Chains A and B, each alone.
Chain A
């Protein structure tokens, strides 16, 4: 990999504050550089705490190109280990998720405790007493958690997660109100791939402009009242740069705070659910749960790989320069009413995933971007929408109208900063 070619003045020719060259989507050298300069040098989301509720629970994930294991140890501490035996590099776990007391390499049987320490080496006489097990733990990443979101980084010297999340923390807190007082829990996930660069997906979660067109078939499949409520271009929404590449896109300002306006009429589509909940819950509880079931009215985009998006987590995983995997993780209320969680599951299935009424259309246009990006590489990808009317909020954040490309500009500013470092 040639780091020099994608840094300094070379980068200035590829990206400006309001536009970028399509090579950002197509150049394998840039991709290789990103895997190191971006993904090995920042906080990368790896799990939600509810995916590992008990000691021994684990899941496998990736940080950039590195396969990792996210595991809760006997003391309840979450570790993130590179999934690579210290002997001859085989992965020590190939399950997506599960529960275990240790990780044992299938090749020669080296075994590791949940905290990554090397415990057992078969036939260790062959090392003539020279193998100091304490020097061969699984390589572990630094791990921190905010509001149940677990992040890991290879860097020991970067800012704490709390500081990295910066202005996004307030929005994450608002997002988690869709637990309606119950802890937020994951309810399963849809995984799908598209033939395109990961940044095309990164842009999309902060792109309200595409919604009425790309999701027309989803909108017409809704009842009229819901379709009107999803008219995102006319609800007074906005996009705000939250710092460090993060942004929030508020599409439905009425649904910023799910604990406000609880006396508003319950939408017709939730009338049946409300009636069912009313048999076991007070009127106020019913209103709070139903409002939470509908999800938040915004997407918080956390650079580089996760968004808290209306009613689910969107996780992106670069596979290669022209291949990206997306996970849409459904969330619900831990210990909440089954009817409420069922409603969440059906909503998720309706829009998300390979058979949803939304995701396949998104994937199709991302695929088209990747295809078109191979044409005329002296033509810019434009990221300037809404720039002229941006304002600065009292908190010092740049804010544009709902379909402004403010969030993309924020992400690419961080991308450039990291690629130049």
Chain B
């Protein structure tokens, strides 16, 4: 029997603390630690069409596995991308958390997220529903999937040169 099944179920408080950590790491550009929060095979997805679930077979804004996440982080750091030089500063707030399901091994958490972005004199806001699939690993919770459903995903957006 898997020892992890003896662990307590993931609570709402535990999940929220983890998601806030992730948010803080992104807002403060601590990307190495952010990359370490992901489970093997974890997917970072920004879909276009509301309600879509078969992300692999449709067009998304982002559909990143670990390799793509590493590339995205490199792009934010290497100074080669003019739209990420400098990287936009962001402050994100997350609220309205709800645990959709939860066991000792994993949970689904949904929340509201509002990101303010500031770059080159312009302040912009992106609002989204965010869905996290979290799993419990040997070193704590890890992200198996993060889906960011932008409220205005089907409209024309501006360049988003950072991680939502």
Contact = CB atoms under 8 A, between A and B. Distances in A.
A220 B80 CA distance: 9
B4 interface: no
A259 interface: no
Contacts of B154: 96, 191
A338 to B, nearest CB: 6
A357 B75 contact: yes
B156 A193 contact: yes
Contacts of A355: 46, 61-62, 160, 164
A345 B158 contact: no
Residue among B48, B81, B161 with most chain A CB within 10 A: B81
A346 B63 contact: yes
Interface stretch (A123-131, A246-254, A361-369): A361-369
Interface in A326-384: 326, 330, 338, 341-342, 345-346, 348-350, 353-355, 357, 359-361, 363-365
A333 B57 CA distance: 13
Interface in B48-77: 48-49, 56-63, 68, 71-72, 74-75
Contact of A338 (B49, B57, B84): B57
B138 interface: no
Interface residues of A, number: 35
A348 B82 contact: no
B14 interface: no
Nearest to A324: B156
Contact of A191 (B63, B157, B161): B157
Interface string A162-174: 0000000000000
Contacts of B72: 357
A383 B102 CA distance: 61
Q: For A96, A221, A348, A365, which residue has the most chain B Cβ atoms within 10 angstroms?
A: A221
Given A188-B58, A349-B60, A363-B83, A221 B75 contact: yes
B159 interface: yes
A357 B49 CA distance: 21
B84 A217 contact: yes
B13 interface: no
Contact of B158 (A96, A189, A354, A357): A354
Contacts of A354: 61, 157-160
Interface in B122-164: 154-161, 164
Given A96-B154, A192-B158, A360-B83, 11 more contacts: A188-B48, A189-B59, A220-B80, A326-B156, A345-B58, A349-B63, A354-B160, A355-B61, A357-B72, A360-B159, A363-B83
Query: Ordered nearest first, which 8 A-B pairs have the shortest CB separation?
Result: A188-B59, A360-B159, A217-B81, A217-B80, A360-B83, A191-B156, A364-B83, A354-B157
